[in-house]
Amino acid sequence: MHSVELLPDEATDRAVREVWRRLADEGLPSQAAHRHPTNRPHLTLVSADTLPAEIRGRLRQAFAGLPVPLRLDGLVRFSGRMQVLAWAVRPDDVLLHLHETVWRIVREAPQSGRPNSHLAPARWAPHITLGRGRDTAWDVPDNRLLPATADASAVATGLWTEARYYDSLTRTTGRLGPGPERPCQP
């Protein structure tokens, strides 16, 4: 499986990693425990079976306009087979348009396989994962986990500065933009 992801600016990356640390300090499931070098805060836009070079080229064009605004706004919890705690991403028109463009590029490329329908524009719940676990409940108040901002809310603003793809079979990433494609960390 291949995913297409947006990466935040350095300050936002540090803020998310701080929440990962706070979760770990509370003894709760946290992405901080996932030590693979490719693990970093990100927003998944689409996933599919594969991303051939032609598709990656079209995606690089879509990401030429990066950076775009980023807004994180409170915690969200997803239930199912796996429980997920995440920092909600509040999408603006620019992010929604970018997501729709990326989704369309992958969906219209039969060689990429079928994209994950949970990430379709009508169903997409943009977020940055903070922790995952089975039978987990994060019973810690949100304000103990999220950093307070000047207005004492859990809102954080920044920029989505880079796009990458992640290959779950080889556990490698590659840069999609802005700029030329290049392999990233294993």
Does 152 score more than 50 pLDDT? Answer: no
**pLDDT for the residue numbered 149:** 52
**pLDDT for the residue numbered 66:** 96
Q: Kindly list the structural domains of the chain, giving each domain's residue range(s) and its CATH number in brackets, ordered by start.
A: 2-174 (3.90.1140.10)
**Tens digits of per-residue pLDDT, 124-148?**
999 999 999 887 777 777 777 777 6
Alpha-helix runs per DSSP H in 26-124: 53-62, 93-107
Q: Which two tokens stand for residue 97?
A: 């348009």
Burial class (CB in 10 A: 0-12, 13-18, 19+), 23: buried
Does 99 score more than 90 pLDDT? Answer: yes
- The most distant pair of C-alpha atoms in the chain lies apart, rounded to whole Å, by 48
**Tens digits of per-residue pLDDT, 48-93?**
999 998 999 999 999 999 999 999 988 898 988 888 999 999 999 9
E strands along the chain, which residues? Answer: 2-8, 43-48, 68-78, 83-89, 127-133, 155-167, 172-177, 182-183
**pLDDT for the residue numbered 182:** 60
Query: For residue 149, what is the DSSP state?
Result: -
* 171: number of Cβ within 10 Å: 13
Q: What is the pTM of this model?
A: 0.90
